[in-house]
Amino acid sequence: MAESALSHAELQAEVRRLRAALDQCTALPPQDAQRRLAIFDGAIDFAMIVLDPAGVIADWNSGAERLLGWTAAEIRGAPAERFFTPEDNQSGRASLEMRLALQDGRAEDERWHLRRDGTRFWASGEMHPLHDDAGTHTGFVKILRDRTSQHLAGEALRDSQRYVGEVQQQLAESERYWRGLFEQLDEGFILGTILRDDQGRGRDWRYDQVNRAWCTHFGLSAQQAVGQTARSLFPDLEDLWVEDFTRVVDTGQSFSYVRQFQHNGRWYEGHAHKAGPDSFLVLFLDVTEREQAAQATRDEERYRRALAELGEGFSQLGDIEAVTDLACATLGTSLDAHLVGYGLVDAEAETITVGRDWTIPGARSLMGTLNFHDYGSYSESFKRGETVVIEDVHADPRARDNLAALQRLETRALVNLPLFEHGNLVALLYVGSSQPRRWTPAELQFIREVANRTRSATARLTAERALRDSELNLRLVADTLPCLIAFVDRDLIYRFANVEAPKWFKDAPQSILGRSMAEVFAPELFAARRPAIQAALDGTPARLDLPWAWPDGRRRIADIHYRPRRDGRGAVDGFYVFAQDVTVQRDAQALIQAQNLSLSQEVQARTAERDRLWALSEDLLLTADFAGQLLRVSPSWSRGLGYSEAELLSRPYTELIHPDDLPGVLVALDDLRRSGLPTRVENRVQAANGSWRWLSWTLSLDTDQEHVTGAGRDITREKDAAETQALLEEQLRQSQKMEAVGQLTGGLAHDFNNLLAGIVGSLDLLTVRIGQGRLNNLERYTTAAQGAAIRAAALTHRLLAFSRRQTLDPKPTDVNRLVAGMEDLIRRTVGPAIQIEVVASSELWSTLVDPPQLENALLNLCINARDAMPEGGRIFIETANRALDARMARVRDLEPGEYIALSVTDNGCGMPPEVIAKAFDPFFTTKPIGVGTGLGLSMIYGFVRQSGGQARIHSQVDEGTSVTLFLPRHRETAAGVDLIASQPALPRQGHGETVLVVDDEPTVRMLVVEVLEELGYAALEAADASSGLRLLESDVRIDLLISDVGLPGGMNGRQMADAARQRRPGLKVLFITGYAENAVVGNGHLESGMHVMTKPFAMDALAVRIRDLIEGT
C-alpha cells in the first residue's frame, strides 16, 4: 500500500545487498541454476540485464520485465540497442558503455530508454563487466532503475542520475538530500511496526514514518499519522492488510499487491519489504484510474457478450412476454441487481403497468399497476425523458417521498430509464440494487442498450402481428385500385399481381406469377426496363413512361413506378410495380406541344375549359395544403354538401372528415408526400345538413410538391348497395341453414314416427291380448315397446347434443378406467381389420364430465377413424395430463390451467385444411348422401365445450388424423365408471318420508307416484310450479322434490326449486326432463344437492335414484 524513504544506514545496506547479490549471482556454479535465478530475480525494484561480450541480451530479471515490457523469453537474443533510444543508437551509446565498463570496471549513465510499447522512461543505470574464475571476460550486467517521475520533478531528481554510484560514494553526507527526495516521491511510503497480541499474532501496526504522498492520498498530516495505529485512523480496516504485512515481517519475503482500500474506495499497487525485526516498509502508487479503466473494459466486454446473447435470444422468441422476461433476466444477472422490471406507460392516466419482472430469490415483485406519484418527485424527471439515477435512496432527496415503498422493496440504489416513441413516453425500465451503488457510465449505457433493444423487439413483434392481421385488407385494397400492382423479387420473378393484371397481360394474374420479367416481356421491352429495374434493386425508386400493348390490341402509354421493398434488416428484397394508364394525359401533353405556336391563346382556352370542367364537374375537386387547409374548391362541393365556398375555405378540412376515417386519410396524405405517387382513399364527409356522404378520392401532388390536388366521387349509393348485398347474402346463408335444419328434422321425424309406430303397436297388441285373456308371451310386446322407447330417447339425445343444450350429469371420472371399460366394445365396433392401441398415462388426473356422453364421444371418434381407413389400419387411443400456461391456453382457446387430454389418432386418409376448418360445423360431412348426417363431430364439440373443455383436430392428407379432447382437471378422486345392470325390484324402504312430484303431464305424475308408493314413501302432487311452490312454502314435511324443468304458468322447475331453497336450504331436488335450457340448469351443470334424469327412463332406474337421494347415498 505504501513505501517510504530509507534511512541513511538502510540505504547503505540496500546498496551493499544488491552488489553482493550480483557478485554472488555471477559466482555461483552453473549447476546451481535455481538458486542463481532466485538471487537474480530477487532485486524486483531494479532491472538487471545480462549481456554477452558482443552486447546481445542473454537474460534479464523480473524487474526488467516489469520496467521494459518484454519477457525474458521474448528478449533473449536481441541486441542491447533494443531498449536504447534512436538518438543514442545513432551515437553508439551501448557500445560506448561496454567499452567504458571494460576500461574502468563500471560505466554509469542517466538517460532515456525505450519500453516495448514505444514509450520512454528516464533511468539511472550502471554497467559492470562479468568475468569467470579464470578472469576471462564473459559479458556485462546492466542495472537500471526507473527515475522518470524524479527526473521530471526538477533539479533534485536530475541530480540522482548516478543513483547507485553516488549512494555508495556520498551516502554519509546525503541524508538531508535523500530526505528531500523522499518527500518529493510520487509513491506513497510507510515505515511501520507490527503490533502483536498475547499470542504473538499481528493485530495492528503503528505508523513510524510516512511521506507527503501518503498524506495526500489519505488526507492526514504526518503529525496526525506518526505514532498512531492503522485501526485508530481507519476503523473499517480489513484484517487482510494486517495479515499480509505481518507475514512479510515473519517470513522476510517481500509482498506485492494491487488492491482496493475500502476506507476511501481507491486502488493501490504497492510493494512491502521487511525493514527490521518487527518493522516493514511499503512503497505504493494510486492506480485507481488504471484499475477502473481495466474494470470498465472487462465490464464492456461482458456487456457486449450479454447484448449479443440477448439479440440471439430475441431472434428466437415470438412472444412479447418472453422477450421482456429475457431482457429483465439479462439485466439482473449482468448487473448483479436484485430487481428488474419493464412496464408500459399510460401517459394520460399516469400509470405504469409492470407485466413482467425479474427478482432474486426472496425479493418482492414489482408486478402490477403503479401511479406516477408512487415514484416520488423524480417521476417528473422521467416524464421529461431524463434517466433517473439514484446511488443511495437514503441520501438522495428525490427519493424522500416514496422512501417507505423503496424500503419495502429492499431497494437502496436504482435506475429508472424512460422510453419514448414519437415524442411520447411509452415504457419504463427499472433496475434496483439492494445496496448503495455508484452506477458507472458503462452500466448505464448497458441498461439503455437493453431497453432500446427490448422496445425494438416488442415493437417488431407487435408490427409482425399487425402485419399478419392486415394481409387480407391489403389484398382487398390492392385489388380495388384501378392500376396494375405487382411485386417482383430480386430474381425478377413475379410473386404478386392484383386483379388489374388481365388488362395489362394476355392471361389472368396467376399466369405471370412465378415467371420472370425477361420471360413475360419481349427482349427489347425488357431491355427498355432494365435500367429502372436495376435502380430499384439498388434501393432507388424509379419511374418511366413506356408504350404498352394491351391484350385487346390497344396501345397505351403506361406511367410505371418501381418502388424498392426492404426486409427487416434494411436490405432490398425486391420492388413493387405500379403501372397506370396515362394515355389520355400523354396525348393531351403531345397536343399541347404541337400547338405551341398559339400557346397564349391555347392556355387561355384550356384555362377556360378547365374552369368549365371545374365548375361543371359533379366530382368534388380541390386544392389543399398539408397543414389541413382547403385552398380552392369546385362548385360541386356546394351542390353536393351544401356548404358555401367561404365556409369550406375558412375551416380545416379535418373537421369535415368522420373521426373513424381521419387516421386513414392522414396516412394516405403522408404516403403521398413521401412517395409523390397518386393515391386513393375513401372516407366519409359530413354535409351541411349533418348527414355523412361516402367519397372516393384520387389525390396527387401539385407541381410545387407542397400542395395536394384531388377529385372525390360520391359513392354513397354504391356503399349502401354493398351493404344491402351483404344483408341479402346473410339472409341466403340463413335460408340455406334452415333448409339443412329442415332436412335434419324431417329425417328425425321419420325415424321417430317409426319408433312410435313400434311403441303404439306393441301397446295396442298388449291391450288386445289382455282383453282376450291371453296372458302368455306378453313380455315380447313390452320388450319391443321398451326397446323402441330407448332408441327414441337416444335419438332425442343426439338432437340435444347437436343443439348443445343437453342436460349433463357430470361426475368425477377416471378416463383411463372409462377407456379400458370400452376397449372391447370399440374393437368389436371397428372390426378385425383395425388394430387398437391404448397408451394410458400412469397418473392421469380426474375430470368432471358426464361419463355416458364421453363414452359416446370416444366411440364416435373411433368410428370416424375406422371410416378413414377402409383398407384397415391402426387407431391409437392416448390419455395424458396437460398443464397449459397463458400462451399455450390462448392457442387452444382455453383458460390457463390443468387439463386431461384424450386423443384418438389414425393413420388413414387424413383431411385437407379446408375440411378441418369445417369439421365441427353442423351438417358438414364428407361421406356420401345418406351415410353421414354431419352431426357426429358437432355433437362431440358441443359436449366438450359444455364441459368446460376444447376439441382440436390435427391432420395431414395421406398421413392420418388426430382428434384431442381437452377436459378440465377435477381435484376430487374419481369413483370410476361402471355399467349399471338393470335393477331388481326394490323392497319397501319408506320410513315416513314425503316426496313432492311436480309435472304438468298426468301420466308422468301417475307413474312417479306409483313408484314412490311401491317404495313406501308418501307422495304429494302438483301440476304446475305455483301449486308446487305453495306446498313447498307450507309447513308440510317434504324430503325430496321431483320436478319437470319445463312447467306452465311462467315459472320453470329450476326457478321453483331455487325459490323453495330460500325456505328449505337443504332441500334435495331431482329434475326429470326431456329438454332443458342452459340458462335453467346453469350452463349444463347443477348446483350441490340438485340432480337430473333425462326422459324417458326406466322405472327401476327412477326407483334407485329416489332411494339413493332420500337415504343420502
For 909-933, the pLDDT digits (tens) are 898 988 888 777 766 666 655 445 5
Q: What span, in angstroms and rounded, lies between the C-alpha atoms of 332 and 334?
A: 6
More confident residue, 496 or 782: 496
Query: Distance (Å, rounded) from C-alpha 324 to C-alpha 342?
Result: 7
CA 302 – CA 613 distance, rounded (Å): 71
Shared domain for 498 and 364, answered yes or no, is no
pLDDT at 171 over 50: no
Q: Does the structure show a pLDDT above 70 at 995?
A: yes
DSSP 244: H
Kindly provide the residue ranges of all beta strands, DSSP E only, lying in 153-243, ordered along the sequence.
188-196, 202-210
What's the pLDDT score for residue 164? Answer: 43
Domain boundary among 669, 687, 714: 714
C-alpha cell belonging to residue 1037: 314435511
The CA distance from 211 to 187, in Å, is 9
In degrees and rounded to multiples of 5, residue 66 shows phi and psi of: -65, -40
**Rounded percentage of the chain residues whose pLDDT exceeds 70:** 81
Answer for the pair 1073, 1095: CB distance below 8 angstroms, yes or no.
Answer: yes
Q: Is 21 contained in some domain?
A: no
Q: Is residue 354 part of a domain?
A: yes
What is the pLDDT at residue 692?
93
Q: Are both 525 and 547 inside the same structural domain? A: yes
Give the count of domains, the chain: 8
Which cell is 313 given?
A: 435470444
Class of residue 291 by CB neighbours under 10 A (exposed 0-12, middle 13-18, buried 19+): middle
Q: Supply 838's cell numbers.
A: 391404448
CA distance 415 to 736: 64
Q: How many CB atoms lie within 10 A of CB 194?
A: 21
23, 393, 588, 607, 610 from 603: Cα distances, Å: 112, 77, 13, 6, 10
Highest mean pLDDT among 652-666, 765-779, 980-994: 652-666
Euclidean distance between CA atoms 411 and 338, whole angstroms: 8
Give the model's pLDDT for residue 203: 94
Q: What is the pLDDT, as a whole number, of residue 746?
A: 57
* Strand blocks (E) in 957-1054: 960-970, 994-998, 1018-1022, 1040-1043
Asked if residue 1074 has pLDDT above 60, the reply is yes
CATH number, domain with residue 330: 3.30.450.40
Same domain as 219, residue 285: yes
What is the chain's mean pLDDT, rounded? 81
Would you place residue 984 in the very low, low, confident or very high pLDDT band (cuts 50, 70, 90)? Answer: very low
* Distance separating alpha carbons of residues 92 and 608, to the nearest angstrom: 99
| Residue 833 shares a structural domain with residue 933 | yes
All cell numbers assigned to 496: 404478386
Torsion over CA: 630, 633, 638, 641 (sign): negative
pLDDT reported for residue 1083: 47
Orientation angle between helical segments 441-480 and 320-335, nearest 10 degrees: 170
User: Is 206 strand, coil or helix?
Assistant: strand
What cell does 210 get? 510516512
Question: To the nearest whole percent, how much of the chain has pLDDT over 90?
Answer: 24
C-alpha–C-alpha distance, residues 934 and 937, integer Å: 7
Q: For residue 1080, give the CATH number of its domain.
A: 3.40.50.2300
Alpha helices (H) in 43-174, listed in sequence order: 62-68, 72-75, 86-91, 93-104, 148-153, 155-158, 163-170
The per-residue pLDDT for range 1007-1016, each reduced to its tens digit, is 888 888 888 8
Q: Are residues 945 and 898 part of one domain?
A: yes
The answer as to whether 726 is a domain residue is yes
Assigned domain for 4 exists: no
Which of 559, 588, 617 lies at the terminal end of a domain, its last residue? 588
Euclidean distance between CA atoms 324 and 303, whole angstroms: 18
φ, ψ of residue 434 to 5 degrees: the values are: -80, -5
- Length of the chain counted residue by residue: 1113
- Residue 739 scores a pLDDT above 70: no
Q: What is the C-alpha separation between 857 and 847, in angstroms, rounded?
A: 15
Q: Which domain holds residue 862?
A: 804-970
1068-1073/1040-1043 β-pairing: parallel
Let me know whether 647 and 735 are in one domain: no
Residues 727 and 683 in one domain: no
Three-class secondary structure assignment of 931-968 = CCCCCHHHHHHHHHHHCCCEEEEEEECCCEEEEEEEEE
HSE-CB at 453 with a 13 A cutoff on CA atoms is: 22
Count of other CB atoms within 10 angstroms of residue 1021:
17
Q: Are residues 459 and 507 in the same domain?
A: no
Burial of 488 (0-12, 13-18, 19+ CB in 10 A): buried
- CA 754/CA 756 separation, integer angstroms: 5
Structure confidence at residue 980 (pLDDT) = 36
Reading the block at residue 796, the C-alpha cell is 332425442
Q: β-pairing, 351-359 with 339-346? A: antiparallel
Q: Is the peptide bond before 663 cis (omega within 30 degrees of 0)?
A: no
Which backbone phi and psi does 1062 adopt, to 5 degrees?
Answer: -65, -35
Say what the pLDDT of residue 1104 is.
84
SS3 content of the chain, % helix, strand, coil (to 5): 45, 25, 30
SS3 label, residue 992: coil
The DSSP secondary-structure symbol of 982 reads P
Amino acid at 778: L
Among candidate residues 117, 140, 173, the one where a domain is terminated: 173
- Residue 587: per-residue pLDDT: 81
Q: Which contiguous run of DSSP H or E holds residue 1104?
A: helix 1099-1111
User: Can you spell out the DSSP letters for 695-718?
Assistant: EEEEEEE-TTSSEEEEEEEE-HHH
Whole-angstrom distance, CA of residue 980 vs CA of residue 1037: 32
Residues 855 and 918 in one domain: yes
pLDDT digits (tens, 9 = 90+) for 25-65: 554 454 444 544 554 555 567 888 999 999 999 988 888 89
Determine the pLDDT at residue 757.
59
Q: Are strands 542-549 and 630-633 parallel, antiparallel or unpaired?
A: unpaired
Q: Is residue 975 part of a domain?
A: no
Query: What's this model's pTM, rounded to 2 decimal places?
Result: 0.31
Q: Enter the C-alpha cell of residue 1085.
A: 351443470
Task: Respond yes or no on whether the N-terminal peptide bond of residue 1096 is cis (omega within 30° of 0).
Answer: yes
* Residue 537 is assigned to a structural domain of this protein: yes
Cα Rg, the chain, nearest whole Å: 49
Q: Choose the weakest-confidence range: 348-357, 945-954, 1086-1095.
A: 1086-1095
Q: Is the pLDDT at 114 greater than 90, yes or no?
A: yes
Q: Is 1041 a residue whose pLDDT tops 50?
A: yes
Beta-bridge mates of residue 875? 836, 906
Q: Which triple of cell numbers denotes residue 858?
A: 370416444
3-state secondary structure 469-484: HHHHHHHHHHHHCCCE
HEC profile of 809-861:
CCEEECHHHHHHHHHHHHHHHHCCCEEEEEECCCCCCEEEECHHHHHHHHHHH
Confidence of residue 216 (pLDDT cuts 50, 70, 90): confident
Grid coordinates representing 84? 536504447
The residues facing 286 across adjacent strands are 268
The answer to whether residues 709 and 726 belong to one domain is no
Is there a single domain that holds both residue 212 and residue 131?
A: no
Mark whether 759 and 817 lie in a shared domain.
no
Is the predicted pLDDT of residue 424 greater than 90, yes or no? no
List C-alpha distances in Å: 64 to 14, 70, 106, 149, 222. Answer: 18, 8, 20, 18, 34
Which position has the higher pLDDT, 156 or 901?
Answer: 901
**pLDDT value at residue 1043:** 92
The CATH number given to whatever domain includes residue 59 is 3.30.450.20
Q: Are 517 and 532 in contact (CB under 8 A)?
A: no
Residue 878 banded pLDDT, cuts 50, 70, 90: very high
CB-based burial label for 239 (10 Å; 0-12, 13-18, 19+): exposed
In a domain, 302, yes or no: no
**Mean pLDDT calculated for residue range 81-85:** 92
Q: Let me know if residue 471 belongs to a domain.
A: no
Angle in degrees, CA 306, 310, 312, rounded to 5:
120
The grid coordinates listed for 587 are 396525348
> Which tens digit of pLDDT belongs to each residue from 306-358?
888 888 888 888 787 888 888 888 888 888 889 998 888 888 888 888 887 89
